[in-house]
């Protein structure tokens, strides 16, 4: 049965409830008003959706989609999860944490050579007890993950290569459709409605916010990407439509409806930008909220620029989704210490 838009968060939640899922995240995450940040910017009312507090190993947005992806892995009775990712991957960290909670072993095949200093997400991966291996190239990474799967199987275990579970895109969209419901419900309880929701996304999570926008009507969604790897509007629309079909929701999204700004990537993915780092400092110093320099700092830089150029009135309600990534700050420690240490006549580490 399909649901005609406009609908309610209750209808959407009922559709999501039909999807196989394991409970991993602490939901709903808090929605906090950022009054000092708003004051500092002379801007609209700003609310931060604290998805950095999803509750597993420093939290983040991936814990939400892992509830769907690991349900699919569990259906195949896997006891070992193999994952191909990057060295400072938030996704890797959250996957290992979630697998620990489900009693599964994790093998991470990470691209790049082993760094001298093990910091940030990689440090947490080790702490969580993942088996970590390094691959010199993408093709080597593929080969090594196939080999790991074959070896585990030969040892009598039941491995699953999580990259091959097709729920990553759709799981993220469904997860962020639900996150949008949480935002709308939390504001509704205060007699408010959102005008605009900002989120760092290369399409997957944003697809869910767009579905919510279509189904609930009213608010704008502005994605800001941390990578130039994708043509996001068609990718986001395709993921949104696939998720809508899975959920039996009668709604369709076209690429022109997806607003995603790629002008805050800076040099490239994984390289912090000045505007992004300024945003990290501003959130920290006004709200005590720690963003990260790879994703959320750059997204916040976009929101800040839009507020400063006057996109919003003082009564508008702007929501910033903090997608997590916090442990990455430790891998970029020099960025935060430089000026302070120089002032004291010390050395930059």
Ligand X SMILES: *Cc1c(COP(=O)(O)O)cnc(C)c1O
Pick between residue 273 and residue 296 the one whose CB is nearest to ligand X. 296
Q: Dihedrals φ, ψ of 211, to 5°? A: -60, -45
> Minimum Å distance from CB 59 to ligand X?
10
DSSP 8-class letter at 148: H
> 58 or 219, CB closer to ligand X?
58
Nearer to ligand X, 302 or 324 (CB): 324
Strand order in the sheet with 259-261: 31-33, 45-50, 317-322, 196-200, 220-224, 259-261
In three-state secondary structure terms, 234 is helix
Q: Is-contact 44 303, C-beta < 8 A?
A: no
- Tokens 């990537």 locate to 265
Q: Which two tokens stand for residue 109?
A: 């095949």
Which residues are near ligand X by CB under 6 A?
60-61, 90-91, 172, 200-206, 292, 295-296, 323-325
Structure tokens at 190: 């205060």
Work out how close the CB of 343 gets to ligand X at its nearest, in angstroms, rounded to a whole number: 30
Which three-class secondary structure state does DSSP give residue 285?
helix
Smaller CB distance to ligand X: residue 29 or 202? Answer: 202
Minimum distance from residue 60 beta carbon to ligand X (Å): 5
Name the token pair of 262.
Answer: 């790629």
Least distance to ligand X, CB of residue 218, Å:
21
Q: Which is nearer to ligand X, 71 or 258 (CB)?
A: 258
Report the residue number, 3 or 47, with the smaller CB distance to ligand X. Answer: 47
Enter the tokens of residue 228.
């130039």
Kindly tell me which of 166 and 313 has the beta carbon lying closer to ligand X: 166
User: Cβ(290)–Cβ(332) under 8 Å?
Assistant: no
Q: How far apart are alpha carbons 290 and 49 in whole angstroms?
A: 13
Minimum distance from CB of 159 to ligand X (Å)? 24
Smallest distance from ligand X to CB 4, Å: 27
Residues in Cβ contact with 31 at an 8 Å cutoff, skipping those fewer than 6 apart: 47, 48, 49, 50, 182, 183, 186, 187, 319
- H or E segment at 247? helix 232-247
Tell me how far, at minimum, the Cβ of 190 lies from ligand X, in Å. Answer: 26
């Amino acid at each position: 049965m399909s649901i005609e838009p406009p609908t309610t968060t209750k209808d959407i939640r009922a559709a999501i409830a039909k999807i196989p899922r394991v409970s991993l995240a602490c939901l709903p995450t808090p929605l906090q008003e950022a009054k000092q940040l708003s004051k500092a910017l002379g801007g609209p009312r700003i609310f931060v959706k604290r998805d950095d507090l999803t509750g597993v190993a420093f939290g983040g947005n991936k814990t939400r989609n892992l509830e769907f992806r690991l349900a699919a892995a569990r259906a195949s009775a896997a006891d070992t999860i193999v994952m191909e990712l990057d060295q400072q991957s938030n996704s890797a960290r959250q996957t290992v944490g979630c697998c620990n909670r489900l009693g599964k072993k994790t093998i991470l095949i990470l691209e790049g050579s082993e760094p001298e200093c093990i910091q940030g997400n990689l440090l947490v991966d080790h702490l969580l007890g993942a088996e970590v291996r390094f691959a010199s190239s993408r093709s080597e990474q593929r080969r090594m993950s196939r080999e790991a799967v074959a070896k585990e199987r030969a040892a009598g275990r039941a491995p699953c290569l999580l990259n091959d579970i097709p729920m990553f895109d759709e799981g993220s969209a469904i997860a962020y459709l639900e996150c949008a419901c949480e935002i709308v419900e939390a504001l509704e309880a205060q007699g408010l409605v959102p005008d605009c929701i900002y989120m760092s996304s290369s399409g997957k999570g944003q697809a869910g916010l767009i579905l919510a926008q279509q189904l609930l009507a009213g608010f704008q969604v502005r994605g800001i990407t941390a990578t130039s790897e994708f043509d996001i509007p068609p990718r986001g629309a395709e993921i949104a439509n696939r998720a809508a079909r899975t959920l039996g929701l009668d709604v369709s999204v076209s690429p022109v409806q997806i607003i995603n700004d790629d002008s805050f990537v800076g040099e490239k993915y994984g390289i912090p930008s000045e505007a992004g780092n300024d945003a990290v400092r501003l959130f920290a110093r006004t709200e005590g909220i720690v963003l990260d320099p790879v994703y959320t700092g750059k997204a916040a830089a976009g929101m800040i620029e839009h507020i400063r150029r006057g996109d919003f009135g003082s009564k508008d309600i702007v929501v910033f989704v903090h997608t997590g990534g916090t442990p990455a700050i430790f891998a970029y420690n020099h960025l935060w210490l430089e000026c302070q240490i120089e002032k004291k006549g010390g050395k930059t580490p």
